A and B are shown apart, each in its own frame.
Chain A
Amino acid sequence: MNRARNILLLILLGISIVFLIYAAVTLYHVSESFVLWNPELAPMQVPLLILSYGVILMLLGMFAIAMYLVLVSNKQNIFQTNTVRWLNRMGHLSLIAFSFMLIMFVYGYVKLGTELGLPGGYMIVAGGFLFLASNVFYFMGTLFRQAVAFKEENELTV
């Protein structure tokens, strides 16, 4: 049952990674269409693309770590110091992605003001989710650190 659930989780994570790669590929074409629609946005294209690719790269890193942790949990006990380290790394990646999103929003707002409109709203929502995710990862890291300490104490009780 546990193994089947892990396989399902791996499939879902794999689909997410494929979707992110697809988003990275189509992002350039989407930005091109935006520039064609409104040529005034042309100077913003490269900086926003760089920041967007940054966010996608961080998300890819997070999903890759999640896949690694699921694979590790199949083979050995997940309550290890290494897991805490990987969870904290996921938190860092999420926080970096949040920073990119924040910079994107501020940059867009400075350049366009209230004309930023719906994309600005999406940036706020996505940024909020990334900030929440980073906090959840750090919290999970702290919980795992305590669990590892309890496990070690239990194993070293004679």
Chain B
Amino acid sequence: MAIIVNLDVMLAKRKMQLKELSEAIGITQSNLSILKTGKAKAIRFSTLEAICKVLDCQPGDILEFIE
């Protein structure tokens, strides 16, 4: 039972680098890397909103629940 972060998939779909995303949403690359690698324990709504805005997607495209 886990929440999977599909940020790398969305970045690949949008042909975007992590660095570009971090510059666009104003979050450090290391923090985004924590999120991408699944090490993050929580995500702020503001971060999720910014990511969704830049990648033009829904929260469900980034987060996935797997049993």
Kindly list chain A residues whose C-beta atoms are within 8 Å of the C-beta of B27: 158
Surface stretch bound by A, among B10-18, B33-41, B53-61: B33-41
Distance of A152 Cα from B42 Cα, bound (Å): 11
How many angstroms between the C-alpha atoms of A156 and B30 in the bound complex?
11
User: Which residues 139-158 in A have Cβ within 8 Å of B in the complex?
Assistant: 152-153, 156-158
CB contact list, B27-52 vs A, under 8 A: 27, 31-32, 34-35, 39-44, 47
Residue of B nearest to A153 (CB): B41
A18 to B41, CA, bound (A): 46
> How extensive is the interface on chain A, given as a class?
under 10
What's the least CB distance linking A125 to chain B, in Å? 46
Report chain B residues within 8 Å CB of A157: 40-44
Most chain A C-beta atoms within 10 Å of own C-beta, residue among B31, B41, B42, B44:
B41
Q: Indicate the member of A152, A156, A157, A158 with the most B CB atoms within 10 Å.
A: A158
Query: In the complex, what residues of A have CB within 8 A of residue B44's CB?
Result: 157-158
Cα–Cα, bound, A153→B42 (Å): 7
Closest Cβ of chain A to B51, distance in Å, is: 9
* Residues in B neighbouring A158, C-beta threshold 8 A: 27, 31-32, 34-35, 40, 42-44, 47
> What residues of A have a CB within 8 angstroms of the CB of B40 in the complex?
156-158
Question: What 4 A-B pairs have minimum CB-CB distances, sorted nearest first?
Answer: A156-B41, A157-B42, A158-B35, A153-B41
